[in-house]
Structure 1
Amino acid sequence: MPVPDAPVTGAHPSPTGPTPAGTARPSRLDPAVAARLKRDADGLVAAVVRQYDTGEVLMVGWMDDEALHLTLTTGRATYWSRSRQEYWVKGDTSGHHQYVHSVALDCDGDALLVSVDQVGVACHTGERTCFHTELPVTGGVTGAGS
């Protein structure tokens, strides 16, 4: 089983993570970018991660302002772990790095699209993508133009 990615240490002056009620705590993120974010009750924004050249969806992670700042300024995907309550840089322990090509904010400001060059697998289960379990669809569209 793959080794979980390492937490970021010393990356932020406050190790306590996101604040409640969707408020942003002090961060080095550009204030103009921070003002456009619509955070959840834990101060986080969903980050949908895809392979930059194929568009393959790899995973969903969570970022607060500082994780986004670190992602934008280091070129390495950095997330907030909701279970461990700490920052982590994808690949620091597992070796399955994500090198950031671009980050886009959606029209509502409540989600990010992070385009990366994924080295190795993205999922902690050892799969290339976290979206490897197909569910049966028994209704809906059956063909183009339907």
Structure 2
Amino acid sequence: MKDVIFDDFQNSVNESLLRHRSLLDIMTKLQESQARINRAVAKSATNCGCIEIQTKKVHLPKDFNIEDIKILTKNSKSSIKGNLCESCRDIIESEIGNNLFYLTALCNSLDINLYDIMLKEYNKIDTLGKYTFR
């Protein structure tokens, strides 16, 4: 069933993309949409103030192992204080939706199935787990 939803979405993107059909247009619109996500998140902190971003360098010991990294970085969510307000959440969700649209359009241009990519990535994560080093 999930593959049907992805395929339907991918087909819908293909049908609704009218003006920016060239590969260069799609690539630049994808990049622009990513920048708009970044800007919306930043404005949530700097303009609205519904979240605060507090971060610092993670110091890794010289003799660290994979488990040490997981423990040291597991609280990365703690660098975000507060919760998105409804307005900021709506804006960010909209920008992520636009990004997903242009990512799917790029897949369509290159004749790549988005669901297949997600399956491959899921299988890689499932197989390698923490050893994907991301």
Larger radius of gyration: 2
Higher relative helix content: 2
Higher relative strand content: 1
Same-fold call, TM cutoff 0.5: no
Ranked by relative contact order (alpha carbons within 8 Å, sequence separation 6 or more), the top structure is 2
Calculate the TM-score normalised by the size of structure 2.
Answer: 0.26
Calculate the TM-score normalised by the size of structure 1.
Answer: 0.24
